[in-house]
Amino acid sequence: MKINVLENQGVTAPNGFSAGSAMAGVKTPGRYDLTIVYSTVPATMAAVFTENIVRAAPVTVSQAHLKANQGRGRAVVFNSGCANACTGDKGAADAAQMTQTAAEALGCSGEEVLVASTGVIGAYLPMDKILAGIGAAAAAMDEKGGGTAARAIMTTDLIPKEIAIELEAGGKTVTIGAMAKGSGMIHPNMATLLAMVTTDCAIEAGLLREALGEACDATFNMVTVDGDTSTNDSLFVIANGAAGNEVLRGSADAGYREFVEGLTYVCKHLAQLIARDGEGATKYIEMKVEGAKSRQDARLAAKAVVGSSLVKAAIYGKDANWGRILCAMGYSGADFDPDAVDLYIGDVQMMDKGKALIFDEAAALVWLEKDEVRILAKLNGGEGEATAWGCDLTHEYVTINGSYRS
């Protein structure tokens, strides 16, 4: 299957989408911190939210709207600088008011609008600024507004994260655009604070939800920065049918697998960008596990390695301390035989069938000095495989998170 990447495009790449952003001044004046992504025609929506039982107000409001509206919807309002989490009834009312104000400005119903917030937990939204920002963002709606939208959702991210692709599905060209923010409080079960996917594919809401779950499972749920699953994690998709394909209604329909593959492609791209741009990160880590008894065992093992503070610190220090890698797989919950494991950093083998090898430290250092460190464990116990992404643990991570509120 051919996937055509559209350079420098994001959520407004698909037909029938626009985005408007504003400098609301939630936390820092003079930077974009509020954005609305909008389908100009009626659309279906799906979302995956945090599994943290402490759910921010925008999460509960978005869940309620999706349910009430049976997966139909038009827009998502995002703000950065304040997470509107741990804010009780007032927070819930504030989040609902954001959707209502956006709906009035856009000319749709409040339930067609979802909402997402990111930033400090436990602070109330400055509603005067937020509502003025929503008005300004709605007035700034632009079919080329995706790039600014991707910047508006950033917090400690250093680079905006967006992608757009084209593919053929059901005889039509379908476009998928997406953006995300990540950086900290990033851990599987929703591994990104906020991500938004748009597509002009025509697809029924239930099937869209299924497709999103499959894509998320292999991508956002395989990235970790610090092991902290946030209160606000939200991944949204809007599909507006503007591509003109026959509506996808079942997983056997022509074009569905292509659509899922495309959706997975953009989610994987963003998940990897989040790992690369982890707070304080100097190195991107890709951990691949092969030969596990099941895919789930492979997932557990791979995620534990990229989540281990000790592995992450060793990679920061370019130290081929591979025992920590095996140790992390060992406590991951994955079922495997330690005496069957082959382990590699780059192409240097450290362990052969569970036994330590005398390896060339200089050769290992060549691989550890790269910006991208690739680790491979062959468990030699089955066919399960998985890849997880993460970053190193650095002095800068500690600096950033020792003074996040300041």
Give the residue numbers annotated as catalytic, written as ranges: 192
**Stretch of 103-111, 196-204, 221-229, 287-295 contacting a copy of itself, by CB under 8 A:** 221-229
Would you count residue 18 as binding a copy of itself (CB under 8 A)?
no
CB within 8 Å of 317: residues ≥ 6 apart: none
Would you count residue 382 as binding a copy of itself (CB under 8 A)?
no
Would you count residue 308 as binding a copy of itself (CB under 8 A)?
yes
Would you count residue 336 as binding a copy of itself (CB under 8 A)?
yes
CB of 27 within 8 A of CB of 81? yes
Would you count residue 405 as binding a copy of itself (CB under 8 A)?
yes
Chain mean position to CA 113: 20
Q: Which is nearer to a copy of itself, 8 or 331 (CB)?
A: 331
**Least distance in angstroms from the C-beta of 295 to a copy of itself:** 18
CB-based burial of residue 369 (10 Å sphere; 0-12 exposed, 13-18 middle, 19+ buried)? Answer: exposed
Would you count residue 57 as binding a copy of itself (CB under 8 A)?
no
Would you count residue 231 as binding a copy of itself (CB under 8 A)?
yes
Beta strands in 276-404 (DSSP E): 284-292, 342-345, 348-352, 355-356, 372-378, 384-391
Alpha-carbon span 159 to 167, nearest angstrom? 26
Contacts (CB under 8 A) with a copy of itself, residues 147-186: 184-185
Would the CA dihedral through 162, 167, 169, 172 be positive or negative?
positive
- Quote the DSSP letter at residue 88: H
Q: Which two tokens stand for residue 213?
A: 């779950």
**Stretch of 36-44, 126-134, 242-250, 354-362 contacting a copy of itself, by CB under 8 A:** 354-362
Q: Which two tokens stand for residue 48?
A: 């995956």
Would you count residue 395 as binding a copy of itself (CB under 8 A)?
yes
**Least distance in angstroms from the C-beta of 122 to a copy of itself:** 4
Alpha-carbon span 26 to 204, nearest angstrom? 36
Contacts (CB under 8 A) with a copy of itself, residues 245-304: none
CB of 183 within 8 A of CB of 194? no
**Stretch of 134-142, 163-171, 287-295, 330-338 contacting a copy of itself, by CB under 8 A:** 330-338
Q: Which is nearer to a copy of itself, 9 or 80 (CB)?
A: 80
**Least distance in angstroms from the C-beta of 339 to a copy of itself:** 7
Alpha-carbon span 267 to 162, nearest angstrom? 10
267: left (phi over 0), alpha (psi -120 to 50) or beta: alpha
Would you count residue 189 as binding a copy of itself (CB under 8 A)?
yes
CB within 8 Å of 7: residues ≥ 6 apart: none
Q: Pairing state of beta strands 161-169 and 172-181? A: antiparallel
Would you count residue 393 as binding a copy of itself (CB under 8 A)?
yes
- Per-residue interface string for the shown chain with a copy of itself, residues 114-153, x marking contact by CB under 8 A: ------xxxxx-----------------------------
**Least distance in angstroms from the C-beta of 359 to a copy of itself:** 10
Site size with a copy of itself, rule: CB under 8 A: 68
Would you count residue 362 as binding a copy of itself (CB under 8 A)?
no
Would you count residue 40 as binding a copy of itself (CB under 8 A)?
no
Contacts (CB under 8 A) with a copy of itself, residues 67-86: 83, 85-86
Whose CA is closest to 387, among 396, 377, 397, 399? 377
**Least distance in angstroms from the C-beta of 287 to a copy of itself:** 15
What size, in residues, is the chain? 406
Alpha-carbon span 384 to 381, nearest angstrom? 9
Alpha-carbon span 183 to 192, nearest angstrom? 8
Would you count residue 327 as binding a copy of itself (CB under 8 A)?
yes
Q: Which is nearer to a copy of itself, 39 or 50 (CB)?
A: 50
Chain mean position to CA 262: 15
Binding site for a copy of itself (CB under 8 A): 51-55, 83, 85-88, 120-124, 184-185, 187, 189, 226-231, 307-310, 313-314, 316-324, 326-331, 335-336, 338-339, 350-351, 354-356, 393-395, 397-406
